[in-house]
Amino acid sequence: MRLDKFLKVSRLIKRRTVAKDVSEQGRVLLNGREAKPSATVKVGDEITVQFGQKLVTVRVERLADTTRKEEAATMYTLTKEEPVAKSEDFPF
């Protein structure tokens, strides 16, 4: 499944176009590496997204083309949530 689609279907990001833009800005890491919106996501992958001044890291638990709002959170497990530290990974 594409990264931008996973972010949208899992409701980590509400719109696929926003997920695409965030990925293109370099604010999404897939398994520790900057990822394009078209990157392939697999079960077990780790995704880190910068939301404003915080970093959210999740582990992919399952993939689904569509999901209901109540079931979206079952697609991933939150592993870490921390404030943004200025670093080379996220230089802004």
The CATH number given to whatever domain includes residue 73 is 3.10.290.10
* pLDDT on residue 92: 46
Q: Left, alpha or beta for 86 (phi > 0: left; psi -120 to 50: alpha)? A: beta
Distance CA(41)–CA(52), nearest Å, equals 23
* pLDDT on residue 3: 96
Per-residue pLDDT of the chain (92 residues; tens, 9 = 90+): 999 999 999 999 999 999 999 999 999 999 999 999 999 999 999 999 999 899 999 999 999 999 999 899 899 999 999 998 665 555 54
Report if residue 90 sits inside a domain.
no
Which residues, other chains included, contact 33 with Cβ-Cβ below 8 Å and sequence gap of 6+? none
Report if residue 52 sits inside a domain.
yes
Report if residue 42 sits inside a domain.
yes
Q: Can you give the residue range of the structural domain that contains 35?
A: 3-83
Look at residue 82 and give its three-state secondary structure: strand
